[in-house]
Amino acid sequence: MQYQATVTIEQKAGMLDPEGTTAKRALGHLGYAVESVKTAKLYEIVLEAESAEVAEQKVDEMCQKLIANPIVHNYTIKLKELS
């Protein structure tokens, strides 16, 4: 089976997000009063696996080993079966 995993990497709570803060300020200049802006990184990974469980487990491993830095990041994985 082929799966597409959408991995979202976010800064952990309490970490600074200067890009988000700057975007919030710029939105203010444009007249939008927003509560907060948070930026994140998104990876789309397409892989072959026997099942959704195996695919998710593999992608989780990839996040732990490379895609995220567990000291400063949280991540979420959304899996979709490709036809």
Partner 1 sequence: MKIAIIQFGGTNCDMDVLHVLKDVVGVDAETVWYKEESLTGFDGVVVPGGFSYGDYLRAGAIAARTPIMDSVKKIAAEGKPVLGICNGFQILTEARLLEGALTTNEYPKFRCHWTNLRVETANTPFTSKFRKGEVIRMPIAHMEGKFYAEEPNLAELDENEQVVFRYVDEKGRATDKANPNGSLENIAGIVNASKNVFGLMPHPERASESILGSDDGRRVFESMADYITENF
Instruction: Note the residues at the interface with partner 1 (CB under 8 A).
Output: 15-16, 18-19, 22, 65-67, 69, 71-72
The CA–CA distances, whole Å, from 27 to 33, 39, 76 equal 7, 14, 27
Task: Output the smallest distance, CB 41 to partner 1, in A.
Answer: 9
Distance CA 80, CA 17 (A): 29
Nearer to partner 1, 44 or 53 (CB): 44
Least distance to partner 1, CB of residue 7, Å: 12
Shortest separation between residue 71's beta carbon and partner 1, angstroms: 5
Measured from the CB atom, the residue of 59 and 67 that comes closer to partner 1 is: 67
Strands (DSSP E) found in 12-66: 41-48
